[in-house]
């Protein structure tokens, strides 16, 4: 079960830089999810979608697209942090992103987070940068580390 860190308001993020955020639930990355991502993006490279060819390839199996792994940040973020009542939250984007290890189809991944920065914005929001590390079950090396930038409006 996810271990969610809760903040009672967006303003409570300010001054909490370095705070550990929670850990999400594990999620299975199966071939159907990878195929649907390929369909959505038009990226049909064989290392993602050709199961037979990929068995003889460099990873021994099909792997998730790096951007599929990164896109899971949007799924994991509400599990690792809950920011109290707000009118809305906006995904501003990402700063540094690194893909450190491929996610083989059939693997499970999860995320953990750390609050890197939080500041008030001119339009009254609170902008937070969170380091999100996507782990692969059974691996010492993470799949992806990204600095996700979100803006919360109280």
Where residue 82 falls among pLDDT bands split at 50, 70, 90?
A: very high
Other C-beta atoms closer than 10 Å to the C-beta of 104 total: 17
Do residues 86 and 127 touch, judged by C-beta distance below 8 A?
A: no
Residue 126 has pLDDT above 90, yes or no: yes
* pLDDT (mean) for 67-93: 96
Given this model, what pLDDT does residue 141 score?
98
Do residues 49 and 62 touch, judged by C-beta distance below 8 A?
A: yes
Residue 47 has pLDDT above 90, yes or no: yes
Strand-pairing partners, residue 88, are: 153
Share above pLDDT 90 across residues of the chain, in percent, rounded to a whole number: 98
d(CA 29, CA 135): 12
d(CA 36, CA 59): 20
Supply φ then ψ for residue 45, to 5 degrees.
Answer: -55, 140
Please tell me whether residue 105 adopts helix, strand or coil conformation.
coil
Share above pLDDT 70 across residues of the chain, in percent, rounded to a whole number: 100
d(CA 116, CA 97): 14
The CATH number covering residue 145 comes to 3.10.129.10
Show the domain range for 143: 5-153
Q: Cα–Cα distances in Å, from 145 out to 57, 73, 78, 125, 130? A: 25, 10, 17, 25, 10
Residue 2 has pLDDT above 90, yes or no: no
Given this model, what pLDDT does residue 43 score?
98
The count of domains in the chain is 1
Q: At what angle do helices 31-41 and 66-80 cross, to 10 degrees?
A: 110
Q: Cα–Cα distances in Å, from 152 out to 11, 63, 87, 126? A: 9, 34, 8, 5
Given this model, what pLDDT does residue 68 score?
98
Where residue 1 falls among pLDDT bands split at 50, 70, 90?
A: confident
Residue 63 has pLDDT above 90, yes or no: yes
């Amino acid at each position: 079960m996810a271990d969610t860190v809760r903040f009672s308001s967006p303003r409570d993020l300010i001054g909490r830089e370095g705070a550990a955020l929670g850990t999400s639930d594990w999620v299975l990355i199966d071939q159907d999810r990878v195929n649907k991502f390929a369909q959505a993006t038009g990226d049909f490279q064989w290392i993602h979608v050709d199961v037979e060819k990929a068995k003889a390839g460099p990873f021994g199996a099909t792997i998730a697209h790096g951007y599929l792994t990164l896109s899971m940040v949007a799924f994991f973020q509400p599990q690792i942090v809950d920011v109290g009542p707000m009118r809305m939250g906006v995904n501003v984007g990402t700063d540094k992103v690194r893909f450190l290890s491929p996610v083989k189809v059939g693997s499970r991944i999860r995320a953990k987070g750390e609050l890197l920065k939080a500041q008030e914005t001119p339009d009254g929001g609170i902008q937070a940068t969170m380091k999100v590390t996507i782990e692969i079950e059974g691996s010492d090396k993470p799949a992806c580390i990204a600095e996700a930038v979100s803006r919360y409006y109280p």
